[in-house]
């Protein structure tokens, strides 16, 4: 009988079975010929799986030495290694990655079956919007998540919603005010004392559409909240991230970075406009998002050899979140386009993909949109501009906080 056609390259031809070695290498057995091979019989590509079992699974051995797997959540057993459901093709370059997720994918779909128990993540702005969905998705898969928020009360309320559905979730609220560099330093100090590792840092918090205002540090607010304070947090936590390597840092940027006006010649003057006359809220936002991409790529250059993978991501266009709260016109526009944009779970998918997906684990220093690596603006690819931004940002912080700026005591656990 003729076999039906299929659009799936991964579907096994008749007579073949996919199996897995204990160390994660996938091989293929043909029942008729009693032969095995490492290449997929249809795609001719090799695959591998991660060393961890999916969440809720346990590997056991019978008295006669046969290995089987127990699904404690669904109360089932099988002799098939459940990791095979999440096998990924081996790739030599990032261009070899096959796209498995897109704009319709959700964060929960990206992490389906993954077990992040033992890992610690920090998410800024985790009490609402995309940040909350990001934190919730990580917590649902066993990750310990620190909600870095300006309002601890709101963070605790968000955590209580997660605990109502996942009583065993490990979530903590810690105060951070991104409008204050001293608050960022205090957060890093408190975090380093309470935790002995940091595996994932997601710099998600941000503001949009603000009128010209200055923070207590005397800096333009959009610049400080969207870039400088989160850059500062990444620098302070970098030693912990390197010790926890492999670790990942995700800067939530936006496609708006392509409309930035920053250039290498006058970056110092454009970062934090001191006067209302030279300020435009859209330009300030676009410039801050360019800073996110520049910082992610520069951090990869500086610390990638220490086991850090750094990413800049675009969550989606006009996603309905609390970020539009500062001007009623934006709220109206975002409300009108809401039926045509991503849900919050879809908007967090790219952050989750970069923070925890095995697909992209070997590749840092990239800009990712809709869970697909793509080229950012030409300006963001300039190592000269990114290096100047990095050093300028360090100097601003050093001038404001002095010698104590980069001293953080770590836990003695």
Residue 237 per-residue DSSP state: H
For residue 10, the model assigns a pLDDT of: 65
pLDDT, one tens digit per residue, over 296-330 is 999 999 999 999 999 999 997 654 445 544 554 55
For residue 213, the model assigns a pLDDT of: 94
Domains 16-89 and 95-405 share a fold: no
For residue 409, the model assigns a pLDDT of: 66
- CATH number corresponding to 16-89: 2.20.70.10
Indicate the domain borders of the chain: 16-89, 95-405
For residue 411, the model assigns a pLDDT of: 54
For residue 81, the model assigns a pLDDT of: 84
pLDDT lower than 70: segments of the chain: 1-10, 23, 50-51, 90-92, 264-266, 317-341, 409-413
Q: Do β-strands 76-78 and 144-149 pair in parallel, antiparallel, or remain unpaired?
A: unpaired
Q: Please return the burial class of 111, using the count of CB atoms within 10 Å of its CB with bins 0-12, 13-18 and 19+.
A: buried
Q: Which two tokens stand for residue 59?
A: 């590997």
Q: Which of 28, 55, 285, 353 is catalytic?
A: 285
Residue 82 per-residue DSSP state: G
Is 79 an active-site residue?
A: no
User: What are 172-177's contacts with CB under 8 Å, separation 24+?
Assistant: 172/144, 172/145, 172/146, 172/147, 173/146, 173/147, 173/149, 174/146, 174/147, 174/148, 174/149, 175/149, 175/150, 176/124, 176/148, 176/149, 176/150, 176/233, 177/150
* Distance of alpha carbon 26 from alpha carbon 84, whole angstroms: 8
User: Is the bond preceding 246 in cis, omega lying within 30 degrees of 0?
Assistant: yes
DSSP secondary structure string, 335-404?
Answer: HHHGGGS--HHHHTHHHHHHHH-STTTT--SEEEETTEEE---TGGG-HHHHHHHHHHHHHHHHHHHGGG
H or E, element range at 149: strand 144-149
pLDDT, one tens digit per residue, over 357-383 is 988 988 999 999 999 999 999 999 999
| pTM for this model (two decimals) | 0.79
For residue 228, the model assigns a pLDDT of: 98
CATH class of 95-405: alpha beta
């Amino acid at each position: 009988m003729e076999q039906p056609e299929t659009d799936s390259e991964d579907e096994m031809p008749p007579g073949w079975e996919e199996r897995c070695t204990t160390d994660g290498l996938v091989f293929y057995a043909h029942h008729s010929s009693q032969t095995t091979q490492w290449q997929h019989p249809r795609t001719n590509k090799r695959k591998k799986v991660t060393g961890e079992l999916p969440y809720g699974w346990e590997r056991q051995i019978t008295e006669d030495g046969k290995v089987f797997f127990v699904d404690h959540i669904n109360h089932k057993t099988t002799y098939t290694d459940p990791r095979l459901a999440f096998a990924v093709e081996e790739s030599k370059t990032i261009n070899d990655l096959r796209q498995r997720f897109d704009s319709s994918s959700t964060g929960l779909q990206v992490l389906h079956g993954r077990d992040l128990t033992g890992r610690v993540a920090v998410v800024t702005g985790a009490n609402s919007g995309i940040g909350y969905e990001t934190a919730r998705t990580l917590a649902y898969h066993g990750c310990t998540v620190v909600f870095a928020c300006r309002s601890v009360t709101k963070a605790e309320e968000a955590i209580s919603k997660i605990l109502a559905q996942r009583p065993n979730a490990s979530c903590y609220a810690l105060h951070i005010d991104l409008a204050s560099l001293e608050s960022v330093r205090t957060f890093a100090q408190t975090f380093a004392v309470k935790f002995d590792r940091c595996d994932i840092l997601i710099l998600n918090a941000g503001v949009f559409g603000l009128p010209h205002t200055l923070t207590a540090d005397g800096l333009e607010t959009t610049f400080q909240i969207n870039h400088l304070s989160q850059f500062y947090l990444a620098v302070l936590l970098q030693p912990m991230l390197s010790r926890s390597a492999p670790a990942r840092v995700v800067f939530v940027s936006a496609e708006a970075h392509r409309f930035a006006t920053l250039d290498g010649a006058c970056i110092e003057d454009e970062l934090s406009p001191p006067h209302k006359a030279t300020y435009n809220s859209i330009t300030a936002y676009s410039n801050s998002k360019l800073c996110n991409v520049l910082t992610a790529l520069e951090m990869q250059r500086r610390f990638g050899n220490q086991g850090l993978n750094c990413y800049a991501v675009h969550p989606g266009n006009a996603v309905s979140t609390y970020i539009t709260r500062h001007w009623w016109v934006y709220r109206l526009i975002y409300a009108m386009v809401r039926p045509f944009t991503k849900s919050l779970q879809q908007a967090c998918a790219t952050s989750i993909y970069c923070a925890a997906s095995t697909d992209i684990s070997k590749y840092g220093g990239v800009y990712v949109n809709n869970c697909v690596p793509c080229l950012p603006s030409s300006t963001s690819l300039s190592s000269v501009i990114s290096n100047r931004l990095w050093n300028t940002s360090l100097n601003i912080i050093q001038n404001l906080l002095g010698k104590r700026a980069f001293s953080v005591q770590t836990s003695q656990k």
